């Protein structure tokens, strides 16, 4: 015989539902293991040493205060620091330095070499000996080496248009520094104005500001060109290792 079915069946407790997990981004390091890049680290270290060597020669062979006032010296000091940090990060498989910093450094050294090679040098005698070596290093070797590092050893798409206006702040500050420096020095002082296109004593403020405006527009156009090229060039460091995920 079977037991009679009770008329009133007690309510069973509700089964608790599992809370839905919130989606969270997966860091790249959890998918792809960090990769050391000793060749890139060695190349960037050589660039840093070349820039530091050229700056050192300029300081030893001339007036250190004048040398440190040059845009080329300041931009190469920045290049040496950025390349040294970038070399360390490539060697230790850490994330690269921000693209905004790399883009600004590249823009400044390119402006240095373009101004040096395209604009007149105010009739100055060509350098010789160690001075010539320092000039070739700072105005030709390090800018070309930095461009090659960007094209061949750096992932594309890291430069952005929103950074381009900020990159012009340093050249604008240098213009103000150059003009204030010239006003503080007595008329007739050698190298009162370090660049002929910024010589207020010879050309006046109207022409100097016109030259500065043209240079600023050229610098901004070069920044836009760098950003455009960075988003259209191929990726030279694409890794095709297995990640464990099927995409």
pLDDT at site 244: 38
pLDDT at 187: 85
The rounded mean pLDDT for the chain is 84
Q: What is the band of 68 on the pLDDT scale with cuts at 50, 70, 90?
A: very high
pLDDT of residue 20: 59
pLDDT above 90 for 58:
yes
Residues 6 or more apart whose CB falls under 8 angstroms from that of 171 comprise: 71, 108, 111, 215, 216, 219
Q: Which residues contact 237 (CB under 8 A, 6 or more apart)?
A: 37, 153, 154, 155
pLDDT of residue 163: 94
pLDDT digit string (tens) for 13-31?
A: 666 666 655 665 655 544 5
- Give the pLDDT confidence of 183-212 residue by residue, as tens digits: 998 888 888 888 888 889 888 999 999 999
Least confident of 2-6, 59-63, 192-196: 2-6
Long-range contacts of 43-47 (CB under 8 A, 24+ apart): 43/87, 43/145, 43/149, 43/153, 44/83, 44/84, 44/86, 44/87, 44/90, 44/149, 44/153, 45/83, 45/84, 45/87, 46/145, 47/79, 47/80, 47/83, 47/142, 47/145, 47/146, 47/149
Residue 156 neighbours by CB under 8 Å, 6+ apart: 230, 231, 232, 233, 234, 235
Q: Over 80: is that where the pLDDT of 128 sits?
A: no
DSSP 145-205: HHHHHHHHHS-SS---GGGHHHHTHHHHHHHHHHHHHHHHSPTT-TTSSSSGGG-HHHHHH
pTM: 0.80
């Amino acid at each position: 015989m079977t037991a009679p079915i009770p008329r009133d069946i007690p309510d069973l407790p509700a089964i608790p539902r599992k809370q839905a997990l919130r989606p969270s981004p997966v860091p790249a390091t959890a998918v792809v293991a960090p990769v050391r890049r000793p060749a890139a680290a060695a190349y960037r270290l050589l660039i840093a040493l070349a820039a530091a060597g050229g700056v050192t020669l300029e300081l030893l062979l001339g007036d250190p205060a004048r040398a440190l006032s040059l845009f080329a010296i300041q931009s190469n000091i920045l290049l040496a620091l950025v390349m040294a940090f970038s070399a360390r990060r490539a060697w230790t498989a850490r994330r690269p330095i921000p693209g905004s910093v790399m883009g600004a450094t590249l823009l400044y050294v390119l402006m240095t070499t373009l101004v040096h090679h395209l604009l007149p040098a105010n009739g100055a005698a060509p350098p010789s000996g160690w001075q010539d070596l320092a000039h070739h290093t700072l105005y030709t070797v390090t800018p070309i080496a930095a461009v090659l590092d960007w094209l061949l050893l750096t992932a594309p798409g890291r430069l952005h248009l929103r950074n381009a206006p900020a990159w012009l702040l340093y050249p604008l500050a240098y213009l103000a520094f150059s003009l204030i420096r010239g006003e503080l020095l007595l008329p007739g002082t050698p190298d009162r104005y370090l660049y002929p296109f910024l010589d207020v004593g010879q050309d006046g403020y109207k022409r100097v500001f016109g030259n500065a405006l043209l240079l600023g527009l050229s610098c901004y156009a070069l920044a836009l060109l760098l950003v455009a090229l960075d988003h259209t060039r191929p990726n030279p460091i694409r890794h095709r290792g297995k990640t464990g995920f099927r995409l």
